[in-house]
Amino acid sequence: MTGLHRWVGLPVAAVLLVCGVVGVQLANGGGEYEPLRPADPCAARTVTSQAQGIDALTERLVLLGIDGAACRLHVSREAFTLELAQTDDPTDAQIDALRGGLKSAVMRMKADGTLPPASALVDESLDSTDLNDLVKRLIRALPDSSIDAALKTDDVLTRAVDDLDLRTVLANLDDQDALEQQIEVAVTGAVKASLEARIRDLV
């Protein structure tokens, strides 16, 4: 009988334990639980990056750009990225929204003062060009004010976004994380190419 009592007592103890946990949760406001709502993609938010230079710039650009695209389509950021990750053929509306969102992100960063001057990006960009060393030294010797007068970061970024083949960029996505990473890689490459083209105009 002792063994029988032990097996009967286990479910009773489990029920009492669950009731105790539920009671503690209710006493601490657990009965007022509401599921988290997705953040409003149209609301302005601060985006920071652990990266440096062009990588940091494009990371912020992509995050804000996806927000802007979701806002244009009147869906949550999560819903927009999930839709893109689950399709092999994005709609024209999604492509247009993403391009428009990226352009809006450029303007937002310019307006809030988080867009770096072109002179802060030129040195890094020069490292990836095939210009000869003498030309690179001449460009690096230019005053920042001269570079910033000749190159506007918002113009460089806008042209880079215009040149992106977003339909190709969004092809063969595996998941939502791959979406952001793939767009960032493409935008970074486009920004560097845009910078390089305009750097050549300086000499």
Q: Is 93 within a domain?
A: yes
- Structural domain includes residue 38: no
Q: Report pLDDT digits (tens) over 58-91.
A: 889 989 999 999 999 999 989 998 888 888 888 9
Has residue 196 been placed in a domain?
yes
Number of domains comprising the chain: 1
Torsion of CA 8, 11, 16, 22, to 10 degrees: -170
pLDDT (0 to 100) of residue 70:
94
**Whether the predicted pLDDT of 36 surpasses 60:** no
Average pLDDT over residues 147-169: 88
Distance in angstroms (rounded) separating the CA atoms of residues 160 and 166? 11
Residue 46 lies in a domain: no
Q: Is residue 41 part of a domain?
A: no
Residue 12 lies in a domain: no
Per-residue pLDDT tens over the stretch 100-141? 999 999 999 999 999 999 889 888 888 878 878 888 888 888
72 assigned to some structural domain? yes
186 within a domain of the structure (yes/no): yes
Range of the domain at 105: 53-200
